[in-house]
Structures are given as C-alpha cells and as structure tokens.
Amino acid sequence: MGNHLDVTVVVDSRKEGHQKLTALAKAGFLGEKRIITIGEVADRKMADIEDLFAKDDYVALYNAAFGKKIKAVDLKGTDPIVRQIARNEGVDRYDHNAPAEVLLRERAKRVASLSDETLNAFEALFKRINETLA
C-alpha cells in the first residue's frame, strides 16, 4: 500500500470500533476525516446503513423482500434495526441484501414513497461525504 488513498469510507458503527481503518489513518494512508461511521450521521453509538431509514420505510422494504407483514411498532429496542427485526422474527440473522435488492429493483416506486425522515438522513450522509472532499 505505497500510495495514499484518496477515498472516503462509510462504515457501520460498531462498539469495538474500526481498528483496520484507524491503523490506515494513523499510518498516513487514509485521512481520519475521510472515515465516516453511520453512527456519526444517525447520532447513535451503534448503527448500520439500514438505520438511516425511518423504521416504517425499512420495515416496508423488509416485508417486500421476505413476504412478511411485521410492523414498525412491533420492533423493540434502540439497537440497530436489523437486530430488532432479527429478534422480532426469532432468528440470529437474515439476508440484509434482500431489502436492498427490493429498493434497487423497484427504486422509482420505493424512493417516491420514502419519508422525509429517511430522505433527510441520507441527505445528511451525502453532505458529510461531500465535506470530506472539500
């Protein structure tokens, strides 16, 4: 890795941090200001990209992906929404790609129905990314 990386990295927030990215930054390969955690944007210690969606919006994607009928009010806790859903469904994990695929396949319909809360959260992410490029 002889070259410095001219990239901005967006990562889910974890309790244990991001040792590899921090090491790259400390070694001078990646600027510390170029590392964005979702928790920083969502104003939460632990957050995944899915947490930028309002609960109702993400639950709609989840339901469409898996043919389910769960409701946002059924989800309990302040941990990441993917964990809340897994707990509600009685599973350890589920395929996080499936809701993303629904969003991509049906993007015109799905994006048009996103709440202001979701749109504002993603706008904040893109503003934060743009700040790293200035």
> Are 61 and 104 contained in the same domain?
yes
AA letter at 9: V
C-alpha to C-alpha distance for 7 and 31, rounded to whole angstroms: 9
> Are 60 and 30 contained in the same domain?
no
pLDDT band for position 4 (50/70/90)? low
Q: Which helix (H) or strand (E) holds 9?
A: strand 9-11
> Are 62 and 101 contained in the same domain?
yes
pLDDT at 5 over 70: no
> Are 40 and 77 contained in the same domain?
no
> Are 36 and 62 contained in the same domain?
no
Q: For residue 62, report the phi and psi dihedrals to the nearest 5 degrees.
A: -60, -50
- Percent of the chain residues topping a pLDDT of 90: 66
> Are 66 and 108 contained in the same domain?
yes
Q: pLDDT tens across 44-76, in order?
A: 888 999 999 999 999 999 999 999 999 999 999
44-61 core/surface letters (b: 16 or more CB in 10 A; e: else):
bebbbbbbbbbbebbbbb
> Are 59 and 107 contained in the same domain?
yes
C-alpha to C-alpha distance for 48 and 84, rounded to whole angstroms: 12
Q: For the chain, how many structural domains are there in total? A: 2
> Are 45 and 63 contained in the same domain?
no
C-alpha to C-alpha distance for 6 and 117, rounded to whole angstroms: 31
> Are 92 and 106 contained in the same domain?
yes
Q: Which helix (H) or strand (E) holds 35?
A: strand 35-37
Instruction: Quote the domain boundaries for residue 38.
Output: 1-49+119-134
Q: pLDDT tens across 96-123, in order?
A: 999 999 999 999 999 999 999 999 999 9
* Residue found under tokens 């990646």: 30
Question: What pLDDT was estimated at residue 3?
Answer: 59
Question: What pLDDT was estimated at residue 76?
Answer: 94
> Are 45 and 82 contained in the same domain?
no
> Are 60 and 104 contained in the same domain?
yes
> Are 23 and 72 contained in the same domain?
no
